[in-house]
Amino acid sequence: MKQLIWTSLVAAFFFIMLTPYLTLAQKPAPQKFSHAVERSEDAARLLSLLVDPNTGFPKALIDKARVIAVFPHAAREDVLVRKFLQGYGVISARDQNGWSLPAFYQFLSAPRKFAGGSNENLGLILLFMNDDALSWLEKKKSEFKHERGATLGPVGAASVQSQNWAGKQIVAYTYYNGKLNGKIDPDFFNDFMLEQDNNINLPVYGANGREVLGGKKVDLTSLPAGISAFQEALRKQQPAQ
């Protein structure tokens, strides 16, 4: 009975979560482009905040990551007795030229405990360290828990050196109310899902999110200015050759 109730709650939440995007899908392409540019630029700004030396964020992890996801904003949703977090952002994969164009994704988290307030600002950063990371994103919706669960990342050089972070598969950071690795529930990643936001990907690129991450050729002259902001921010972090 508990499983049935949980399944019903999740189904109800997904309906609520997708409703704004069903509406967005009916809007003209220019409005979608504007929304896409805003998300890419917001993710680029958050990345620039992270790599500031004063935050304690270990830039060495970016140098080793295969895929990087940045969700600048997360919103709390209440469905009956459960509280969920959903966030919208972008993901780029490392390719032969550095980094792919940003693919648009959204996440859903359903922690069993929830301490955050509805008006608090939470950003989420995921570093996929595994060479097989792209294969984990093959589906339109991909679950990440158990062996694919994320580990909260280290802050400061001493913390990085004290643990074997190179062996982790997904390293996660939160940017909570202007502070790296702020408040987060211990089971944040027990029920966690990434979903391709193809209501944005398809009009912008003519490709789904996974195809964008895989480096599918896109007519760059057709892209609105600013759409590649996140890609450019990542390229600035590449080690000098």
Reduce the DSSP state of residue 132 to 3 states and report it.
coil
Is pLDDT above 90 for 99?
A: yes
Domain that holds residue 96: 2-236
Is pLDDT above 60 for 43?
A: yes
- Please provide the average confidence, as pLDDT, over all residues in the chain: 79
pLDDT at 22: 39
Instruction: Flag whether 54 is in a domain.
Output: yes
pLDDT at 241: 53
210: left (phi over 0), alpha (psi -120 to 50) or beta: alpha
pLDDT at 158: 53
pLDDT at 114: 55
Top-confidence range, 31-35, 88-92, 176-180? 88-92
Number of domains in the chain: 1
Instruction: Flag whether 76 is in a domain.
Output: yes
Is pLDDT above 70 for 167?
A: no
Is pLDDT above 60 for 14?
A: no
pLDDT at 222: 87
Rounded to whole angstroms, the Cα distance separating 20 from 108 reads: 15
Rounded to whole angstroms, the Cα distance separating 81 from 60 reads: 41
pLDDT at 7: 46
- Going by pLDDT thresholds of 50, 70 and 90, the confidence category of residue 205 is very high
Instruction: Flag whether 46 is in a domain.
Output: yes
pLDDT at 47: 92
Instruction: Flag whether 18 is in a domain.
Output: yes
Please report which residue ranges of 51-85 form alpha helices under DSSP H.
59-64
Instruction: Flag whether 223 is in a domain.
Output: yes
The predicted model gives 179-187 an average pLDDT of: 70
Q: For residue 95, what are its two tokens? A: 């390719």
Is pLDDT above 70 for 26?
A: no
